[in-house]
Structures are given as structure tokens and as C-alpha cells.
Amino acid sequence: MRVLVCDDHSLFREGLRLLLEKLDPEMEVTLTASAPEAVDATREHTFDLILLDWHMDGLSGARALDALRESAPLTRVVVLSGDRNAELVRTAVDGGAAGFIPKDSPPNQLMTAVRTIAQGGVYLPTGGMTAIQTRDVRDAFPSLTERQADVLRAALRGNSNKLIARQLGISDGTVKTHLRAIYQELGTRNRTEAVYMAAEQGVRIS
């Protein structure tokens, strides 16, 4: 697994590298100190996961997320932040983040978050969330059709409707129709609420 870490605090960068390598000694971790540096790295290499600090000097926040989603559209981007307010989390997920890890989490919770993400799961600050075995979309939501499950997996990765349509060989309109049906089936109103539900259900998206 190849992971790109983008954080302008050197101690946190190195600590995250140690944590990731502890989870999997064979994990390849690349460290960058700014969003432009991370974007350059995605142009030279392919990554399975990007861990992005939300608050950085220069290009940061939603603009940094947009830049990385554009340069690496097929790579999951997970936001890291010391600020865990609900509006920020919604903004990150709406912008295409596939998860959100609070930097101020206790060490055991941070380990749980990183492990969940590394295993392909969705992690969001949902209160007392504990380590759970990740499972496929169809196992978590058995009422979905195969096609709906495919669309939901792609949506949970943060893929845009256009990218989902291209990946699955269907039209944008068909993607929207599937998403409406998925939200109705899950009892959610939008993609952000669906991501939260997926996190609570331990869904694996990779």
C-alpha cells in the first residue's frame, strides 16, 4: 500500500509515518509538507491513500482538497485536523474526502482511525466509535442492488458523479438516479449522511 502524507508539522508527519509503518512494515509512506508538494508527488507516483492536513500555510482546506482530488481522482483522500467541528467535517466530505481523522484524538483512538482507513474502511469522528471489522457495502446494506452497491462504493471514495459514470460506463443522469435510490434505501438525504452511515456500519470501500 502506498500512502502520501501531507502535513506542515514535521513532528506530526514523522509520527504518522511511524504509526503507519507499525500497522504494516511493508507500507510505503511518502511525506510532503505542503499541498503543492503533494500535488507534484501525485503526478509522479500513484498512491492508494492520501492523508491531508486541513489547516496549513498557503494552499489548504477545501482548496487543497480540490487540488488533490483533481490531480489524483482515483485516490482516497482522508482529512486530518485538530478542529473537529461538524461543519468542517461536512465541508470535507462534501468536497470528496473519504474520511476525517481528528488530530487531537487519544493515541488509541488515533491508532483505531488509521487502522480503519488503512484497511479500506471509513472513519469519521462519530463520538464513541471503536474498532470494528470492516465489511463490504453489500454486507452492510444487503437491500442494495449490485449496481447501487458499485455506485455507493465509488461515492464513498469521494468520486464525482462524472467520474462514477465514466468508471461504470453509465450516464451522469443514471448515477444521480442510483444515488437518489440509495439515499432513500439508507434513510439518508445526501452523500455526507451516507458517508456517516457507512462509517458507523464499518463499511470497507477499497
Give the tens place of pLDDT for each residue, 171-182: 999 999 999 999
CA distances to 30, 133, 142 from 53, rounded to whole Å, are: 14, 26, 35
- The pLDDT of residue 128: 42
Whether 130 has a pLDDT exceeding 60, the answer reads: no
Mean pLDDT of the chain: 89
Structurally, at CATH architecture level, domain 2-118 sits in 3-Layer(aba) Sandwich (3.40)
pLDDT tens, position by position, 5-36: 999 999 999 999 998 888 888 889 999 999 99
In this structure, which topology does domain 137-200 adopt according to CATH?
Answer: Arc Repressor Mutant, subunit A (1.10.10)
- The pLDDT of residue 206: 64
Which H or E run includes 179? helix 172-186
- The pLDDT of residue 131: 44
Its pTM stands at 0.80
Residues of the chain within CATH 1.10.10.10 domain(s) are 137-200
Residues of the chain within CATH 3.40.50.2300 domain(s) are 2-118
Phi-psi region of 22 (alpha: psi -120 to 50; beta: other; left: phi over 0): alpha
